[in-house]
Structure 1
Amino acid sequence: MKAIVKPTPRLGGTINALSSKNYTTRYLLIAALADGTSTVYFPAHSEDSDAMRRCIRDLGAVLEEDNEKMIIRGFGRHPKHVSELNVGNAGAVLRFLMSVAAFCPEVTFINAYPDSLGKRPHDDLIDALKQMGVEVEHREGKLPITIRGGHPHGGKITVSGNVSSQFLSSLLFVAPLLDEDSEITVLHDLKSKIIVGQTLEVIAQAGVKIEASDDLMHYKIPGKQQYTPQNYTVQGDYPGSAAILAAAAVTHSDVTVLHLAEQSKQGERAVVDVLRAMGVDLTHENDTVRIRGNQKLTAGEFDGDHFTDAVLAMVAAAVFAEGTSRFYNVENLRYKECDRITDFVNELRKAGADVEERQSEIIVHGRPQGVTGGVEINAHYDHRVIMALTVVGLRSEQGLIINDAHHVAKSYPHYFEHLLSLGAQIELVQE
């Protein structure tokens, strides 16, 4: 599908934030790892969360769903033996389930997206699983990956946090179910610590105890624990909402987004502070964010590791700010659905933005007057790239044509629908 994004000077209206993808996948997983029945209220519907639904069902969980909730009867530490799992293009789902698959005799994760997830490395998690007595067959750390387990054991485990925090989260979900106590030490650095906090929050809600050091680099985990079946409510999603808020910030607008918890542990909640720092007229009260945009933004410097999945949306806003903005500590963006630094910067330049890249930085020389646009853009199969480029297109002189725009459904299937309801001029063309 192509998205033809036309210049849109004004946006207005109210939308409900979509449900959080990160919390949905975590709640579905711990419900599956519980012995008994759990209920997840307001689960997200996206390609990622649907991949988790599909895979835990394949592994033996029983799912029933209506418009409000999903009821899940879990399999505990005894998943059904399956020969293959298809996680689609969902990296977090793959990584979380690689550890769960250690309870199975042999499972192969197939390579359904060779140009996206198929290019992403998983060596750090593979090394940790081998320390637990799991045999892993792989292609230089990439899909297809075969897990030969059955009897994983605890003990002292090390895992690198340099590339992704998802490797650590994967181990944290499974280690409490092992017979032995475990100690997990994170080597080097740990990216996206705030997202690890979400993992620990969800695990604690299910009654499992993990002792974490203050810097989140060391964990003591008693074995022989069980996840307790619970009721969970999924909060609104900041990463997806960040693009809506950025669109409001770069246009003349009066836009309200509901159900964004003020005390959320989502790191991307920081976009509220980022946009305020850029001079956006923004209020956040009673879990409601309201932006009254006037197209005037000022540049700033921001540590992107605190809001990884919203960096691209904030870069898109910074394209139109007065001055030079710097988003630093973002090297892990290179290991997502695409290289979100090089690939994204290249597409921004096509649109007329003045941007630079460093190994772990994106530097934006703002153009308050706008950018020219009038070109076709490659989305690189990446939902975050699609959303951010749409923001740029709305403020461009000649619009943008975004190819492969249907991949936005990975996390936000209703993204274009929500923008259209706010008055955005976007034409969707099926190919």
Structure 2
Amino acid sequence: MDIRVTPTPRLAGDIQALSSKNYTTRYLLVAALAEGTSTIYHPAHSEDSDAMRRCIKALGADVQEDDEKIVITGFGHRPVAVNELDVGNAGAVLRFLMAIAALCPDVTFVNRYPDSLGKRPHDDLIEALQAMGVEVEHHNGRLPIRIRGGNPHGGKIRVSGNVSSQYLSALLFLTPLLEQDSEIEVLHDLKSKIVVGQTLEVLEQAGIVVEASEDLMRYRVPGGQKYAAREYIVQGDYPGSAAVLAAAAVTQSDVTIHRLAERSKQGERAIVDVLRTMGVPLTHANDIVRVQGNGRLQALEFDGDAATDAVLAMVAAAVFAEGTSRFYNVENLRYKECDRITDYLAELRRAGAEVEERQSEIIVHGRPQGVAGGVTIDAHYDHRVIMALTVVGLRADAPIRIRDAHHVAKSYPIFFDHLQALGAQVEWIN
């Protein structure tokens, strides 16, 4: 379905931040890898987290859920044999489970989204798994991927972090369950180090010991460990909230979002500091962010690697800033659900924004007067692109129609419900 975004001069109201998708998927996985019963309170409900629920059930976890919590009895280090796993369009879920599938005799990950996840490469993780004694059949590093495992070995493991930190996280989930100790060395660069910090945080909560170097490029993981059954509480989600905060920043607004922890390890927490730097009036106290926007913003420069999933929302705000903004160190945006540099900027140009791309940079020449709008633009099956383009539509001169906007459900199924509650003029179109 498409969404029509009609220019909206004012937003106001209170909403509760959705629960974190990243933490939910990690908690679901470590609960499944435990040999007892774990409880996860306030889990996220999105296509990604639903994909992890579906797959851990297929691998043998018992999953019971009510409105407040999920209770999971795990399969430990012995997932059941399964022929196929369907992760939908969830890249992190795929990569985490490719590693866990190494404990299974023969699993094929199917390709249901050939124009999105089906285009994304996984070579670096495949090479690491093959070096651990796992047979992997693939199509130039892409789905469908068949894994013949059963007895992976630890030892010295190398993995590139140049494209994604998810490959490293996948190995960190797997290696504690192996008989041998493991030493993991990250080659080249490591993208999204803050997200690796989230993985390490969750592993520690699950009772797993991992010794990490200060620069997060080397790890020692003792083998023969067991995941502990625990209780987990999922914090509010900064990546999704970033788009709502950006929407409040570019309009006349009085918007409050609850459940955004001030000391969160989510890198996308940087959206608060970025908007402050851009001159947006806001407060952040007691896990509550309040934006009293006046539509006036100043340009900035920002290293986007620490806040990957908030960069598109920041760029959307910068479209209306006074001056030229630069977002650098963002090449890994090219390897997401779509090329979030080339594809996203092409749609911004159609809407009337003045933007330039480099291999690892986004340049935005702000237009405080607004953009023309009045066009139909393509979401490229990408939830982050959908949310960011919606922010731009709120300040356009004429309505913008976003194709396939239902893919926002990948991370934020009620995004448009929340915007409507704040007064935004958005409507679904068949």
TM range (shorter): over 0.9
- Residue type matched to 1:329 in 2? N
- Residue type matched to 1:281 in 2? P
- Residue type matched to 1:130 in 2? Q
Give the Å deviation of 1:427: 1.1
Q: In 2, Cα distance between the equivalents of 1:354 and 1:385?
A: 17
Give the Å deviation of 1:276: 0.4
**2:415 alignment partner in structure 1:** 415
- Residue type matched to 2:212 in 1? A
Q: In 1, Cα distance between the equivalents of 2:221 and 2:182?
A: 5
**2:107 alignment partner in structure 1:** 107
Q: In 1, Cα distance between the equivalents of 2:135 and 2:408?
A: 35
**1:242 alignment partner in structure 2:** 242
Runs in 1 of length 4+ with deviation above 4 angstroms? none
Partner of 1:254, secondary structure, is: strand
Give the Å deviation of 1:399: 1.8
Partner of 2:371, secondary structure, is: coil
**1:284 alignment partner in structure 2:** 284
- Residue type matched to 1:315 in 2? V
**1:86 alignment partner in structure 2:** 86
Q: In 2, Cα distance between the equivalents of 1:206 and 1:345?
A: 40
Two-structure CA RMSD over aligned residues (Å): 0.3
Q: In 1, Cα distance between the equivalents of 2:427 and 2:196?
A: 38
- Residue type matched to 2:179 in 1? D
Normalised TM-score (structure 2): 1.00
Q: In 2, Cα distance between the equivalents of 1:299 and 1:51?
A: 38
Q: In 1, Cα distance between the equivalents of 2:55 and 2:399?
A: 39
Partner of 1:372, secondary structure, is: strand
- Residue type matched to 1:388 in 2? A
Q: In 1, Cα distance between the equivalents of 2:427 and 2:397?
A: 16
Partner of 2:396, secondary structure, is: coil
Q: Tell me the percent identity.
A: 75
User: Equivalences for 1:326-345 in 2 at 5 Å?
Assistant: 326-345=326-345
1:149 equivalent to 2:149? Answer: yes
- Residue type matched to 2:332 in 1? N
User: Equivalences for 1:162-201 in 2 at 5 Å?
Assistant: 162-201=162-201
- Residue type matched to 2:391 in 1? V
Q: Deviations over 1:19-48 (max 9, x none)?
A: 000000000000000001000000000000
Q: In 1, Cα distance between the equivalents of 2:326 and 2:9?
A: 26
**2:58 alignment partner in structure 1:** 58
**1:216 alignment partner in structure 2:** 216
- Residue type matched to 2:284 in 1? H
Give the Å deviation of 1:51: 0.2
- Residue type matched to 1:2 in 2? D
Q: In 1, Cα distance between the equivalents of 2:397 and 2:233?
A: 42
Partner of 1:236, secondary structure, is: coil
Q: Deviations over 1:278-297 (max 9, x none)?
A: 00001000000000000000
**1:365 alignment partner in structure 2:** 365
**2:225 alignment partner in structure 1:** 225
**2:299 alignment partner in structure 1:** 299
Give the Å deviation of 1:265: 0.2
Q: In 1, Cα distance between the equivalents of 2:175 and 2:343?
A: 36
Give the Å deviation of 1:131: 1.2
Partner of 2:239, secondary structure, is: helix
Give the Å deviation of 1:275: 0.5
Partner of 1:156, secondary structure, is: strand
User: Equivalences for 1:129-140 in 2 at 5 Å?
Assistant: 129-140=129-140
Long gaps (5+) in structure 2? none
Q: In 2, Cα distance between the equivalents of 1:183 and 1:275?
A: 40
Partner of 1:126, secondary structure, is: helix
Q: Deviations over 1:181-210 (max 9, x none)?
A: 000000000000000000000000011100
Give the Å deviation of 1:151: 0.3
Q: In 1, Cα distance between the equivalents of 2:270 and 2:251?
A: 21
Q: In 1, Cα distance between the equivalents of 2:42 and 2:248?
A: 25
**2:273 alignment partner in structure 1:** 273
Q: In 2, Cα distance between the equivalents of 1:382 and 1:401?
A: 15
**1:119 alignment partner in structure 2:** 119
Q: In 2, Cα distance between the equivalents of 1:21 and 1:108?
A: 25
Q: In 2, Cα distance between the equivalents of 1:237 and 1:318?
A: 22
**2:46 alignment partner in structure 1:** 46
User: Equivalences for 1:249-260 in 2 at 5 Å?
Assistant: 249-260=249-260
Q: In 2, Cα distance between the equivalents of 1:282 and 1:226?
A: 44
**1:393 alignment partner in structure 2:** 393
Partner of 1:201, secondary structure, is: helix
Q: In 1, Cα distance between the equivalents of 2:132 and 2:61?
A: 24
Give the Å deviation of 1:2: 1.0
Q: In 2, Cα distance between the equivalents of 1:377 and 1:39?
A: 42
Give the Å deviation of 1:116: 0.2
**2:98 alignment partner in structure 1:** 98
**1:263 alignment partner in structure 2:** 263
Long gaps (5+) in structure 1? none
Q: In 2, Cα distance between the equivalents of 1:64 and 1:105?
A: 27
Q: In 1, Cα distance between the equivalents of 2:306 and 2:424?
A: 29
Q: In 2, Cα distance between the equivalents of 1:153 and 1:122?
A: 20
- Residue type matched to 1:284 in 2? H
**1:202 alignment partner in structure 2:** 202
Q: In 1, Cα distance between the equivalents of 2:308 and 2:399?
A: 27
**1:314 alignment partner in structure 2:** 314
Give the Å deviation of 1:248: 0.0
- Residue type matched to 1:413 in 2? P
Q: Deviations over 1:282-327 (max 9, x none)?
A: 1000000000000000000000001000100000000000000000
Q: In 1, Cα distance between the equivalents of 2:368 and 2:190?
A: 36
Partner of 1:82, secondary structure, is: coil
Q: In 2, Cα distance between the equivalents of 1:82 and 1:278?
A: 51
- Residue type matched to 1:391 in 2? V
Q: In 1, Cα distance between the equivalents of 2:143 and 2:352?
A: 36
1:347 equivalent to 2:356? Answer: no
Give the Å deviation of 1:252: 0.0
Q: Deviations over 1:366-407 (max 9, x none)?
A: 000000000001000000000000000000000200010000
